[in-house]
Amino acid sequence: MRAMVFGLAAALAFGGAASAQVALKPTTPMILNWTPQQQADWYRSIETVFKVETVKRGGKVHPLPKAAREIAPAWTHEGKDWSVDSYMAAYNVSGILVLKDGKIVLEKYGLGRKPEDRWTSFSVAKSVTSTLVGAAIQDGSIKSLSSPVTDYIPELKGTGYDGVTVRQLLMMSSGVKWNEDYTDPKSDVAQAGGPAYAEPGVNPMVSYMRRLPRENAPGSKFNYNTGETDLVGILVSKATGKSLARYASEKLWKPYGMERDAIWMTDLGGHERGGCCLSVTLRDYGRIGQFILDGGKAGRKQVLPPGWTTEATTPQITSGTRERGYGYFWWMPDSGAYEARGIFGQSITTFRDDRIIIVTNAAWPRATGRDLSAARNAFIKAAYEAAKATP
């Protein structure tokens, strides 16, 4: 495997960033190249920049009460003392939320963001998409994780995806050849979903993906593949007969009680991108984490199959990094937590045994970097320890 440390592989998961979505203005710069001010303005109002669909909330809100005591983490990183405020200022953090036992022990905002403001998730959306696969299995729309992908996306029959299962897509182990090199303008990730490969009546991402050859046996090797996360979103829509936004509304936003509509960026075919760019409020990111932590239940209703959340957030394959492994579009860091991650500083980190959830939203100056990830990890560790010590 090429040098695909998490910092690049997981972070630059926007995929086809130059062409896979539709800007409302032709002069809109590539999202990876936005200025700090554009980041601060547009990450929280992505619907003013790109075409989107809306994930509608319901009439109730799942409560996130404030705990009796707020934590104030303090830590040392690379010889410097840090507080939450200094960390947020130094790393352009727009929101931090820490939950323990479903209660808020820390909530802060930066970059002019308010609690009602959404913030784009980049690849955190992948973890939501895999969750919708679980919902579709629970309601019978998808037969099982062992079902062939071609049962739901028949346009892939006779291609490298013959014999690939839903589970293998969720593990990023289809065996189909894919180049996720962001420095190469001819790489798959740079071209997938663009207009050059469009076919009448076929989603542009499907059109591109079905041209790719088989490289490894399905299930044998992890290969980070943003295109396939978009395929999974398309698969869910085809299986359920509903748009991804509508299905997310019916299975998660309305029954669990999200506080605000979410916004989901669409591709050139008008389909929500399964691999990217769901825009959500800080507290609703926390609710996503809580929904998974609580076993995929909304009230007394089991939305996800029993055991799904544990399976999805447990290593299913070695990722080729120093981490514990990869689940179903969830990462397993060495800290013992499981995480949803996106470029420029987006994350939901959950410590299952301690029932602690830590959410970060940011506008890092670069999409990724070891220094940026190390600083966030130091904050997460400090916040976790402070929350764990709180009665």
Cα–Cα–Cα angle for 210, 214, 218, nearest 5°? 105
Task: Check whether 376 has a pLDDT greater than 90.
Answer: yes
Q: List CB contacts of 386: < 8 A, sequence separation 6 or more.
A: 71, 72, 73, 105
Which pTM does this prediction carry? Answer: 0.94
Q: Which of 310, 297, 304, 285 is nearest to 255 (CA)?
A: 297
Mean pLDDT of 33-45: 96
CB atoms within 10 A of CB 24: 11
- How do residues 276-327 score in pLDDT, each as one tens digit? 999 999 999 999 999 999 999 999 999 999 999 999 999 999 987 778 999 9
Query: Would you state the pLDDT for residue 222?
Result: 95
Mean pLDDT of 105-113: 98
Q: Which of 303, 316, 275, 264 is nearest to 141 (CA)?
A: 303
Query: Would you state the pLDDT for residue 40?
Result: 97
Mean pLDDT, the chain, as a whole number? Answer: 93
Give the confidence band of 3 by pLDDT, cuts at 50, 70, 90: very low
Give the confidence band of 19 by pLDDT, cuts at 50, 70, 90: low
Give the confidence band of 18 by pLDDT, cuts at 50, 70, 90: very low
Contact assessment for residue 205 and residue 269, using Cβ atoms and an 8 Å cutoff = yes
Query: Would you state the pLDDT for residue 204?
Result: 92
Residue 188 Cα distances to 123, 131, 225, 232, 234, angstroms: 17, 26, 9, 17, 18
- How do residues 332-365 score in pLDDT, each as one tens digit? 999 999 999 999 999 999 999 999 999 999 999 9
Contact assessment for residue 206 and residue 231, using Cβ atoms and an 8 Å cutoff = yes
- How do residues 67-82 score in pLDDT, each as one tens digit? 999 999 999 999 999 9
Contact assessment for residue 196 and residue 259, using Cβ atoms and an 8 Å cutoff = no
Q: At which residue do the structure tokens 């099982």 appear?
A: 144
Task: Name the percent of the chain lying above pLDDT 70.
Answer: 95
Rounded CA separation 271/279 (Å): 15
Mean pLDDT of 230-247: 98
The string of DSSP letters for 75-132 reads EEETTEEEEHHHHHHHTTEEEEEEEETTEEEEEEE-TT--TT-EEE-TTHHHHHHHHH
Rounded CA separation 248/253 (Å): 6
Task: Check whether 186 has a pLDDT greater than 90.
Answer: no
Query: Would you state the pLDDT for residue 193?
Result: 85
Q: Which of 383, 368, 388 is nearest to 75 (CA)?
A: 383
Query: Would you state the pLDDT for residue 196?
Result: 84
Contact assessment for residue 349 and residue 358, using Cβ atoms and an 8 Å cutoff = yes
Mean pLDDT of 165-194: 90
| Radius of gyration (C-alpha) of the chain in whole angstroms | 19
Pairing of strands 262-265, 52-55: antiparallel
Give the confidence band of 190 by pLDDT, cuts at 50, 70, 90: confident
124-137: buried (b, 16+ CB within 10 Å) or exposed (e) per residue?
bbbbbbbbbbbbbb
Query: Would you state the pLDDT for residue 329?
Result: 97
Task: Check whether 242 has a pLDDT greater than 70.
Answer: yes
Task: Check whether 375 has a pLDDT greater than 90.
Answer: yes
Query: Would you state the pLDDT for residue 16?
Result: 42
